[in-house]
Structure 1
Amino acid sequence: MRKYRLTPGFSFRYNITQNPTIYNVFATAAFRYGHSTIPRFLTLGDRHVPIEQLFNRPSEVIKDLDTVLKAILKDRHQEVNRFINSGMTEHLFETSGNNGFDIVSLNIQRGRDHGLPSYNNFRKACQLSEVTSFDDSVFGKAGPALKSVYSSPDDIDIFTGAVAEQHLHGGAVGPLLACLIGQQFHDLKYGDSFWFETSHPRKGFTSGQLSEIRRMRFAKILCRNSGVKSIQRDPFTVYSKESNPMIPCNDLPTIDLTKWRR
């Protein structure tokens, strides 16, 4: 966050030469890391529903959106790694029998269809050392598995190698994904003349308005758009009595709209 100047509080200055276009590798491989975090089951009330029973089936959302929302808030996601649950690798978009797809095969093939260079090429572009051995510590215990399907580290597909990397300290992804995602969001921010922190007198907000916007939390947005009555302070993290307690929705800060009164 600090390296790519994404931490809240950094002074924003629009860069007219910054191209905010979405990189091919970001759309095709890097931001698909989330496929490895999808859990095998979703806990809907007292039911543990296999993920494949929810593909293209909006009935659960239509029937009770709040129950689905509570399940997503409560259930732990899987870590970003090479282990992806069987619902995604054997039953993706399955309609009957055994006609499901494999998300990993699709990701790899998509990268090849888009002509993405190899994993090592992107490490080099990110000024990371190239991997010359499957025993490289960046792969942790994943080296033997990669060696069983690739003849050389130079052959590794970008998606495969990126999700196999050991996480950075304090991060949810490895160094290559951190680079690709960080650079993309940096470009989106500093290449956007309408970024909400701009000091442009006609495009931007007043300091008072910015303070109010920064007070708003995702937890409050979820509360105001659902029937949830209490929620953990940080919805992106599972509930913890000590570090991420449940809070009544009414106790969460809201925006003082009088700052916009003329």
Structure 2
Amino acid sequence: MAQYFHGSQRLSEVLKRPFNLYKPGWYDQYVLGLINQVAQSMDSLVTQEVTNHLFQQSNQPWGMDLASINLQRAREHGVPSYNQFRQWCGLTRMDNFSSLLHVMANSTVHRYNDMYDHPDDIDLWSAGVAENSLPGSMVGPTFNCIIARTFKKLKIGDRFWYENKNLPNSFTPDQLSEIRKVRLSRLLCDTSDEVETVQIYSMVLPDPQLNPRVSCKSKILHQLDLSKWKEDYSDKKNQDQ
């Protein structure tokens, strides 16, 4: 499939409506669109596609509001406040609104000052997306802490994590090495129908010099060597005897 502009589609039109993916060629178009479209930088703004048109029915002018839902369900489930999570993460507690000026935009702090009586009242999700991003990160210190701890616990707590050692299902060092050689770009090539070329680093925009598009048949995109999983039946026979 040639890499050119096929068209655009609103986010609100595809949420919980994956039906286009059942059509031949549409998955490839979505993949190519995702790896070639410039992503916006992280900020505290939320698109109207999910604040005014979330799960909108075709016969209705408006949908639901994801921002409001996030705040409501956090309160209903007893999710701790922004300040409580900062303390849990070992970050400085915000005792007044002025202290917030060090981690988020002045205009946001002024709005919080108008809406809340004290920083202790600020909702986690709202302040989390409002924090200035850390260098090299898309999120601020509080969300950085939560996301990092979550993934660490998911990894350590999963006895089937693929890097775990000394288990009957553990991969061998050669198998792990083979798995780590495979790029996401290789995976996109293998799981698509007609994608013929893809940039080497698929999460980075293509560049003729720094990140060129290469053929899916190219040896540059390492293909998983399944021979590393081949079992030696002769050893098993000897053990049985």
TM-score of the superposed pair, with normalisation by structure 1:
0.77
1:193-208 to structure 2, matched below 5 A, reads 193-200=159-166, 202-208=168-174
**Which of 139, 147, 157 does residue 104 from structure 2 map onto?**
139
**Which of 7, 11, 16 does residue 56 from structure 1 map onto?**
16
Q: Does 1:175 align with 2:141?
A: yes
Aligned to 1:34: none
- Secondary structure of the residue aligned to 1:182 is helix
**Which of 156, 173, 179 does residue 122 from structure 2 map onto?**
156
Give, in angstroms, the shift of residue 125 of structure 1. 0.3
**Which of 71, 95, 99 does residue 108 from structure 1 map onto?**
71
Give, in angstroms, the shift of residue 254 of structure 1. 1.0
- Secondary structure of the residue aligned to 2:161 is coil
- Secondary structure of the residue aligned to 2:185 is helix
Q: Which has the larger radius of gyration?
A: 2
Give, in angstroms, the shift of residue 65 of structure 1. 1.5
Note if contact 1:107-1:159 (Cα within 8 Å) is conserved in structure 2.
yes
Give, in angstroms, the shift of residue 138 of structure 1. 0.5
Which letter maps to 2:46?
A: I
Q: Deviations over 1:63-96 (max 9, x none)?
A: 3221112112222333332101111111111113
Give, in angstroms, the shift of residue 197 of structure 1. 1.6
- Secondary structure of the residue aligned to 1:48 is coil
From the two aligned structures, give the one with the greater helix fraction: 2
Give, in angstroms, the shift of residue 249 of structure 1. 1.4
Greater displacement, 199-208 / 111-120: 199-208
Greater displacement, 126-135 / 51-60: 51-60
**Which of 69, 73, 76 does residue 35 from structure 2 map onto?**
73
**Which of 83, 88, 93 does residue 55 from structure 2 map onto?**
93
Moved over 4 A (4+): none
What is the RMSD computed on CA atoms of the aligned residues? 1.9
Q: Deviations over 1:194-231 (max 9, x none)?
A: 22222205231211111101111111111101021111
Aligned residues: 219
Q: Does 1:128 align with 2:91?
A: yes
Q: Distance in 2 between matches of 1:113 and 1:239?
A: 44
Distance 1:242 1:109, change over 3 A: farther
- Secondary structure of the residue aligned to 1:231 is strand
Q: Distance in 2 between matches of 1:181 and 1:206?
A: 29
Which letter maps to 2:103?
A: V
Q: Does 1:255 align with 2:186?
A: no
Which letter maps to 1:106?
A: I
Structure 1 residue runs without a partner (length 5+): 1-43
Which letter maps to 1:134?
A: F
Note if contact 1:134-1:147 (Cα within 8 Å) is conserved in structure 2.
yes
Give, in angstroms, the shift of residue 253 of structure 1. 0.2
